[in-house]
Structures are given as structure tokens and as C-alpha cells.
Amino acid sequence: MKHTDNATLIPQRTFINLSTPELVDIALARHEGTLAANQALNVNTGARTGRSPKDRFIVKDTLTEKSIDWNTINQPIAPEIFSQLLQKAKNYLTQKEATFISYLKVGAEEKFSLNVKVVTELAWHAIFTKNLFIQPSPPITQDTENQWTILCVPNFKTDPIRDGVNSDAAVILNFTERYILICGTHYAGEMKKAMFSVLNFLLTEHEILPMHCAANIGDDGKTALFFGLSGTGKTTLSADPERHLIGDDEHGWSAEGVFNFEGGCYAKCIDLSKEREPMIWDAIRYGTIMENVVLDQHTNEPNYADTTHTQNTRAAYPRDYIDGKVDANKGALPNAVLFLTCDLYGVLPPVARLTKEQAAYYFLSGYTALVGSTEVGQGSGITQTFSTCFGAPFFPRPAQVYADLLIKRLEHSGADVYLVNTGWSGGAYGQGGKRFSIPTTRSVVSAIVNGSLANAEYETLSGFNLSIPKIMHDVDSHILNPKKMWQDQAAYEENKKILMEKFIKNFEKFKVSDAIKNAGPKL
């Protein structure tokens, strides 16, 4: 459906559960965005084209004082400061011509789902949450008991001195009041990741492992999980025409199976092509929100290669736009778990099978790269990082809580775990190495999910002590051992040593068993 050209803003303060076409019409009438040639609503988020981690806080009170891993990511803020800022935001919103309320939920497993009331200043933000969160059935039309509330007022700027925050923006989670306040930022991903953080805190009490991962299912009913940071392949590799998608980013793993937290996908658009990522390409249409994508000034065609605004260009669309999705939005216990790492040093293999202890080690390490970072201030380059649990900014509890749950779930399910390198080979990034092609990585993933790698013949990669296959179908055996891809063997050994030292240094902060510590690299 396309928008109606004569759309006008209805003179009414509060709009509840408007349909996507109604919201698109209002967004266009208020000049919040532009319809691209593919009919998606393209918006610009201004200076903040990613999350603002330095502006994210958690209210420190009797509920959270001893249960949060307080650090530079989980920054504490006093309840009084939150209450004062919340009142200012509410007062600000009463002066606006319109307020948009959507009653949604997160969590596809009913007994673990949360009702969420989303209150937004902008119509396109309401579309975003309708796309990314789950539509209740039957619809919810009023406040419910124990619901969470998101109040998003991007044009209300905070003052560090006056408001007790760090800048002109703030994202504050209050677990006691079940409230999320977002001020001063138009980047819609803050709403999505704030609710993710909420679930990551709450679900561990039910022995559910919350995961920053994608999930899909084959025709054989076998579930696969894809852990990784943004830009390392979660969405691209899970959007497989040969398999059925559960979700692309946030899931829970219980004793019964895997379930999606969301009702949509938030795909990166950088260098998107129909040939390489057909499912994502086809999902970007009317009702989809595109963030910061550059449009041709004459035709309004998206230029996905243009990074004028940011490398972190995005498309938010509902799961209904995906052919072959899993209708139930959940699946059975996983058979395969993939840790997607993007190695800038070119010394990790394209795939390695991990023991249970190695799985815990690499899960806690979360070694990868920031590729077109989702965080403001990271620039446009690619940098190496260690992100605990492959999503450090979103996990409020101590890391060991999540690692213990991972081991418990692996022991219960018997799933095989693999480290899959989507990064560089034959040399380091910027020093002659080349990134593994998507077809090569897809062949690796296919061998994992179809079970053929479980029976392959393996050898040990020295130093990292990783088990790597000697031969794989549809993959040049020469690339399976990273050492063989380097012409300069001395440079390979030097880069390997540098990365191993970084792993060892990073892991010093974890208090874990000797078995897990010894599962890492050894100089």
C-alpha cells in the first residue's frame, strides 16, 4: 500500500495504536521523512547515527544495587535524577501537537513475554517499534499490570549540569518502575536495545540465556544460532533462502527451545545488493523504516553504497515481510551454535570446532571487529574489539552469569559450537589481507547446519589449539588453515602472537574455572 497524497495531521493530541499506513501519512505530512523509490520511509537521525553508550544509565536502587555489573557501560544514576528528568520530559511532551502510543510486547514465548507501552514524539518512531516489537493478539488498547513503558522524546535535549547526565541526550533504564526514558536522540535503535537490556536482566532469573544472536531453522527442523556484533554477519547469514528465519538479533534459550524477543528485523544496509542478500532487499518496501540511507536526488532510489551520513545505515521491517519465516517465532533446542568473529589480524581460521570450555572462553571474550559501528563516536573505520557475550553494551549482570547459563544450555542440548571467522585471511586488515567472501562463509555455514562438519577430519591449529577441518565441500581446502594463506610466514607468526596476547590480557578480568581459562590461546 502507498500513502495517500492528501494526508493531513488529525487535530488530536494522543493517537493510540494507529496503523502503519496512518503513521506513514502523518510522518510524511510532518516532514519526518521521505518515501524512497522502493516506498520505504527514509529518515535522517541527525548527528546521532548510532547508539550513545556514554549517555546510557541504569537507576541504582535496592533492586539493582547488588545485581548489576556497574561499570562504564552500566552507569548508575540516582532515582531522584531519573524522576526529575522524567517529569520534565512529560511536561515537554504535553506541549507537542501529537503523541503516539503503541501497545506492543517483547518475547515470543508467552510465559516470558513483557507488555510494552511505547510513547513517542515522532510518528516514524511509532512505526519503528511496531515493526521491531511484537504485535499482541488480540490487540492491547490500554495500560496493563506490570507493563513496561518507553517514553521517547528525541527533540527534548538534556542539560548535563541541570539534569545530572553527560550530554544533551540520555537513555535511562529504571527496573523498579519498569520505565525507559530516552531523550535527545533520534536513533531508533536505542528503543530496541533498551528493551533487549531489560530482558537480558530479567530472564536469567528463569534460567533463560538471553542472546545477541540470530536464529533460523532448516527443513529438517534443526535450529542454528548465530552470535555476533553488528556487521559481522548475523543478519546476512541467517537470512538464508534455504532456511526459515526465526529472528536476526535477539533471542532467549530456555530448557524447551529458542524464542525470538522481537517481531521484526533491523538490518544493516551498507553495500546491500539483491544478489547477495535477496531476502533483506525484498523486505525493504512500504512500511519499512530506512535510517540515514542516501537517496538519489532525482529518482529517490537508495544508494546503499553511500556512507555520507554513516556506515550504520539501517532498515527496520516486520517479520511478515520475510518469505519463509517461522510463523511461531520460535524453534526447538539448537543443534548448532556459531560464534561469528571478524578477525582483523588474518590469523584465525574460517571455521573451528570448539569444546564446551572453549565455547565459554570465546563467548566471554567476544573477540571481533567493529564494522560500521552502531555506536556514535567510533568513526567509519574498522577496529578490533572484545565485546563480552558478543554484546557487552546490553548485558547488565556480571558476565559469569551468562557464561554459566551458556554451559548449562550446551550440556542440556548437546549442540555443537563453532567459531566462524568472517574477517580477513592471508594478511591483516589494511596490510594485504582479504576478507572472506560471503559465498565462502555461506558454504562454511551450510556445512555446519547440515551436520557434515560434525563428521569431518580435523587437525589442530597451534597456539590457539583450535580444531580445524582438513577438507570441506565447496570450500578450497587451502584456506582452512590460516597459516597456509600467508606468503610471509614471519608476519603470520607475529600477528598471531599479537592477537594471542590480546586474548590473554582481555581474559584476565574474568573469574572462571581453570578449565575455561586453559581453553584459550597459549603463547
Q: Which residues are catalytic?
A: 51, 193, 212, 230, 234-235, 249, 314
Is 445 in contact with 337 (CB distance < 8 Å)? no
- What type of residue is 377? G
**What share of residues in the chain are helix, strand, coil (percent, to 5)?**
30, 25, 45
Residues 6+ apart with CB under 8 A from 220: none
Question: Where are the extended beta strands (E) located within 196-281?
Answer: 209-217, 223-227, 244-247, 250-253, 258-260, 264-268
Residues 6+ apart with CB under 8 A from 131: 20, 263, 264, 287, 288, 289, 316, 317, 318
**How far is it, in rounded angstroms, from Cα 352 to Cα 311?**
30
Rg from Cα positions in the chain: 23
**How far is it, in rounded angstroms, from Cα 388 to Cα 362?**
9
**How far is it, in rounded angstroms, from Cα 51 to Cα 188?**
9
**How far is it, in rounded angstroms, from Cα 69 to Cα 434?**
38
**In terms of Cα–Cα distance, which of 121, 175, 126, 123 is closest to 146?**
175
**In terms of Cα–Cα distance, which of 243, 244, 246, 245 is closest to 259?**
246
**How far is it, in rounded angstroms, from Cα 306 to Cα 319?**
26
- What type of residue is 145? E
CA distances from 514 to 123, 263, 357, 360, 520 (A): 53, 40, 10, 12, 10
Partners of 369 in beta bridges: 384
Residues 6+ apart with CB under 8 A from 270: 231, 304, 305, 307, 311, 312, 313, 372
